[in-house]
Chains A and B, each alone.
Chain A
Amino acid sequence: MKAAPFAYVRPSRLSDAIAELAETRGGGKVIAGGQSLTPVLAMRLARPDTLIDINSIEELGALTRSGPALHIGATVRQRRVERDPLGAGVPLLRLALPWVGHRELRSRGTVCGSLAHADPAAELPAVACCLDAELTLTGPNGHRRVSAREFFHGAMTTALTPDEILTSVRLPVATGGEGFGFAEIARRHGDFALAGVAVRVRLRAGRPEATMTAFGVSDRPVTRDLSEQLAAAVTDGGDGLAGRLKEQLAAVVEEIVDTDGDIHASRDYRRRLLLALAGRELSKAYERARDGAEEVTT
């Protein structure tokens, strides 16, 4: 378990990193936290000619609030977002981060790295999709912005071209009248999810809008607008919102889960899990939105 030979560069300017990457003509690989890449290298499952270490590029370490968004640079560690007061502006991210690996992994692993890696069972891609985050991809021709929902093309496959670096992600800061839910079920704590959901509910003039992103159940995060289903379940009234939601959601869950079974969970079991999680978290998010002070009236 030793990596095949590779060249290693650690530029301190983004433009140099882009140039280095271009020079490798597709044979280069960007490393930030290395929590996914390092084992892959050690197992010789990836054999980049050149490893471009972006950790010395100062501007990529920015974690800032800019207007209605939280900006997270490419080398910002997951643990930092978990602990920095700025992170609290995006409650869904804070709900999701404790589920990402273990604390030790989050101390090295980056938010952007997790997005660029695009494991279909990973938490942060689902958060980005649910919140419709905006990703900045930087290449020889400059920056381009891609919506998270357009970014994930399949398992470990994204909109990034071989000469681009995911340099930052912008996530919308929550406003009043919003509620969130996040949960997953894995074989063990810290494992990739058998099924998971990220949920956002907004109340506009008393009408709920609901978005759910499911993960671990397809080749990429799957986002659906569930406003209708939530409205129908809420209108029914009474206790047991989660149970009523399950009735409403059965069809959409059936459709979302299309992954083949593996040794940890069959497709049928993933559907069962997703339905349970969707009902529970959507109901929680709705209650949080309703209890969360004033509603957004626009």
Chain B
Amino acid sequence: MTATTERPGRPTARIEDPALLTGRGRFLDDLDPLPGTLTAAVVRSPHPHARIRGVRLERARRHPGVAAVIGPDEVAETLRPFPLSLKTPMPYYPTGTDKVRFVGEPVAVVVAADRYLAEDAAELVEIDYEPLPPVVDVEKALLPDAPRLHEGADGNVATDRDFEFGDVDGHFATADHVVKGKYTFPRYSSTPMECYAVVAHWQDEADGPAVQAWANFHGPFSMVPVLAGALGVPASRVRLMIPSDNGGSFGIKAGIYPYVALMALASKYAGRPVRWTEDRIEHMLASSAGSDRVMWFEAAVSADGEVRALRADLVDNVGAYLRPPEPSTLYRCFGNITGAYTIDAVRIRSRAVVTNKTPTGLNRGFGGQQLYFGLERLMDKIAEVCDLDPVELRQRNLVGSEDFPYATPTGGVYDSGDYQRALEMLLKNADYQALREEQRAARERGEYYGIGVATIVDPSATNIGYVSLATPAEQRTAGRGKSGSTEHVRVSVDLNGIVSVLLGTVPQGQGHATVAQAVVAEQLGLPLDQVRPVVEMDTATTPWTVTSGSYSSRFAPLLTSALVEAGEKLAETVKVAGATLLDVPPDEVELADGQVRLRDEPERSVLFRHAAGLVHWDPGALPEGTTARLYEEAAFTPPQSKAAGRNDQINSSLCYGFVAELATVTIDAETRQLRLEKVVTVHDPGTILNPTLLEGQIHGALAHAIGGAMFEEMRYTDAGQPTATFMDYLCPTTAETRYALNSDHLETPSPLTRLGAKGCGEGSSMSLPVAIANAVADALAPAGVDITTLPLHGNVLNELLNDTDNERDL
């Protein structure tokens, strides 16, 4: 077995940082993989909804320096619509073809010698639009007379499914209280420092077309087959390469694939490789965002506050197209839709609706911030109805530590946890009673002071099988089920005993290389610098499957498990080689301190590199049956990730972590400015792999959440015009994140992953938005103000307070 029993968890410094901090990072725009590459600019729709009556590209094509201009005709001729998760007739191409359906939708591409020339020529593209009435509000889009985006479809509803588990009506019939709420979650985004970047090269080869593409994606995952489908080629004819440095994604770069297809097509027409680097305005207008959601919740509650059943009606606004991986925002949290609570029965209606907004997609917390905004606001309302402290209510409903593994009504199986203990830690760390005392005193002084709590399950290692749920069970083809949360690695040893680790996750700044190095070094008993992780992805050489990539916090639970499995196999060979040199049986040696040594007689040893050298140079010396194999691959394949059952249950993630979080806020009575004073958070991410990186993830998730809760919003006017610049889309900066933070952890290792680790980078991005909302609602409770949406800031609070019959104390 493995040579070391010491578990990971050392706060090693990030090995990625020296290069980044000294300007030696190599991002896609720093690379010039194919000399002679031309540059593209994208012509975009200024209209939210319009028919394309005509396109004239001749003037642009004649502009000096222009190599090619393509428009809707070339796209429709050469590409197929992207394959969607559903059969809904809402064809999606990388540009508008018949119509444009959101402001910023690509319509044409100009390829020129440089970006300046391309933008000059882009102004010469003439498009004749016939404006059509837009609809951006999801409830209006549901109305029978709403403008219809896709003529082939019956309406704007892309998917509408009902699910029922347990005796929902029975519980509601006998409930002491039925508590209801309608909640609206806004649309916000990720805004990584580096926007999208693509270099694409279309090649017509003897056996058909092939595409070579570099992109700062974090796939390939299921987007490569979608891309290949549009190009009409097998997935293996698309070779995707991703550089090791990626300037952040937080999910949003999953929306890059339409541009890979579009630039591949531009390259075909230009006859040269084409580069496109998205600028910030393009990113704000047209890249992606988390979906906005309107949701109705109802809970059947007993007199003592026990939540027995839940009804949820979720309506996601997915923008103009059902762009894959949508409608996954509805389903990513399906197995944990009842949150951290022992709720036995649930009815869910899940709808995704198209509107004249930008298509949505992944955004850190994917589906969780939306779900928990409704569920955790509702829990506070239930507490109020039952006259219980919100913490007390949660304590009465949390899944108990003795209940694990805990099966949820929707098919989730929570692998491990101790929610009560985490909540107790939260109360202790926050000194909850003292905070309530402070609040009482503040209220006596006429001040607004609020305390908000959220307790959430943090799913990680998605089982992609949940996408099937959007299709009714009877329409799902037998034998064509989907499941899986696998991750892949390749570990090899060179002639000098240096271990290379090729990762199938594609990091965007999380520090995967740092953790991978530590895990492999510990397992093989090597100093850190003898292990070299490689994080570039090349779909022609890196092991991968359709689930590979960086999303849904997959690295910690899945990839590290694959590392352990590959390391075990590699260790066996090295031990046999070392034992051969020592002339002892292989089961008597261990790997430690860079050596192969006798377990009972550690001074008898050979260097790891000499053992590896034997395999390279003198395999003839190996015992019979041992092959000269110093490279091992592993595909960690957890059997718990199964396809959805006929009853629509699914274990939508492999692991389920936990977050208990508390926020305190004050609101200036005079200016109604909202201030986040304090955040106390307790995370259970299973085994902690690197405390420094964990803290970093938590800080980042909190900042992202503060953005959504207090600052950022992708707003659209009724006429369909969006927020498009950082003048209006306000990301929090260091100045806005100076709240007092107390962050703590407990570890209940997952029994399903090799190191016991679960994901940890998304939890607070799901919990803090609603914790802040709960705190604001608590602060304003004396004024009779309810909080049902975000973001919250002075102007919003002013309106809410003006709407109540309060003092207009101007």
Please give the residue numbers on chain A whose beta carbons come within 8 Å of chain B beta carbons, in ascending order: 1-5, 43-44, 185, 187-192, 194, 250, 254, 263-266, 268-269, 271-273, 275-276
Contacts and interface: CB of A to CB of B under 8 A. Distances in A.
A4 B120 CA distance: 7
B14 interface: no
Q: Closest 3 CB pairs between A and B?
A: A189-B735, A1-B279, A269-B798
A189 B738 CA distance: 12
Contacts of B282: 1
Given A187-B730, A188-B730, A263 B736 contact: no
Contacts of B799: 266, 269
Interface residues of B, number: 30
B541 interface: no
A43 B120 CA distance: 12
Given A2-B119, A4-B120, A265-B795, A189 B736 contact: yes
A185 B794 contact: yes
A41 to B, nearest CB: 12
B349 interface: no
Nearest to B796: A269
A1 B732 CA distance: 24
Contacts of B713: 263
Given A187-B711, A265-B795, A268-B802, A275 B116 contact: no
Given A187-B711, A188-B735, A276 B281 contact: no
B167 interface: no
A156 B279 CA distance: 26
Nearest to A39: B725
B672 interface: yes
Contacts of B730: 187-188, 191
A268 B670 contact: no
B733 A190 contact: yes
Nearest to A280: B670
Contacts of A5: 116, 120
Given A188-B711, A263-B723, A2 B795 contact: no
Given A185-B673, A269-B799, 14 more contacts: A1-B282, A2-B116, A44-B119, A187-B730, A189-B733, A189-B735, A189-B736, A190-B735, A194-B795, A266-B795, A266-B798, A269-B798, A272-B672, A272-B798
Contacts of A265: 794-795
B713 to A, nearest CB: 8
B433 interface: no
B280 interface: yes
A263 B715 contact: yes
B671 interface: yes
Given A187-B730, A263-B723, A268 B798 contact: yes
B237 interface: no
A194 B730 CA distance: 14
A269 B732 contact: no
29 contacts: A1-B280, A1-B281, A1-B282, A2-B116, A2-B119, A4-B119, A5-B116, A44-B119, A185-B794, A188-B733, A188-B735, A188-B736, A190-B733, A194-B794, A263-B728, A264-B728, A264-B795, A265-B794, A266-B795, A266-B798, A266-B799, A268-B798, A268-B802, A269-B672, A271-B810, A272-B671, A272-B672, A273-B671, A273-B794
Interface in B781-798: 793-795, 798
A136 B120 CA distance: 37
B678 interface: no
A265 B715 CA distance: 14
Interface centre among B670, B732, B735, by most A CB within 10 Å? Answer: B670
Given A266-B798, A272-B810, A187 B793 contact: yes
B287 to A, nearest CB: 14
Nearest to B728: A263
The A interface, classified by DSSP as helix, strand, loop or mixed, is: loop
Contacts of A187: 711, 730, 793
Interface in B102-136: 115-116, 119-120
A264 B671 CA distance: 14
B731 to A, nearest CB: 8
Nearest to A265: B795
Contacts of B670: 272, 276
A269 B795 contact: yes
Given A1-B280, A191-B730, A263-B715, A185 B671 contact: yes
Interface string B796-809: 00110010000000
A72 B279 CA distance: 36
A276 B671 contact: yes
Contact of B810 (A1, A4, A185, A275): A275
Contacts of B715: 263
A43 B798 contact: no
A143 to B, nearest CB: 35
Interface in B564-599: none
A186 to B, nearest CB: 9
A269 B796 CA distance: 9
A265 B730 CA distance: 14
B712 to A, nearest CB: 10
Contacts of A188: 711, 730, 732-733, 735-736
A276 B280 CA distance: 36
Contacts of B733: 188-190
A19 B736 CA distance: 46
Nearest to B282: A1
A268 B800 CA distance: 12
Contacts of A194: 794-795
Interface string B361-400: 0000000000000000000000000000000000000000
B57 to A, nearest CB: 20
B115 A250 contact: no
A269 B120 contact: no
Interface in B709-730: 711, 713, 715, 723, 727-728, 730
Nearest to B114: A2
Nearest to A187: B730
Contact of A43 (B281, B672, B732): B281
Nearest to A254: B810
A268 to B, nearest CB: 7
B797 to A, nearest CB: 9
Contacts of B119: 2, 4, 44
Contacts of A254: 810
B46 to A, nearest CB: 13
B794 A269 contact: yes
Nearest to B280: A1
Contacts of A3: 116
Contacts of A273: 671, 794
B585 to A, nearest CB: 66
Contacts of A268: 798, 802
Contacts of A264: 728, 795
Nearest to B733: A188
Interface in B2-42: none
A53 B735 CA distance: 33
A185 B795 CA distance: 11
Nearest to B115: A2
Interface string B666-681: 0000111100000000
B369 to A, nearest CB: 21
A190 B727 CA distance: 11
Interface in B253-309: 279-282
A190 B799 CA distance: 24
A2 B65 CA distance: 16
Contacts of A185: 671, 673, 794
Contacts of A271: 810
Contacts of A266: 795, 798-799
A192 B730 CA distance: 12
Contacts of A189: 733, 735-736
A255 to B, nearest CB: 13
A1 B280 CA distance: 8
Interface string B186-228: 0000000000000000000000000000000000000000000
A187 B793 CA distance: 8
A4 B122 CA distance: 11
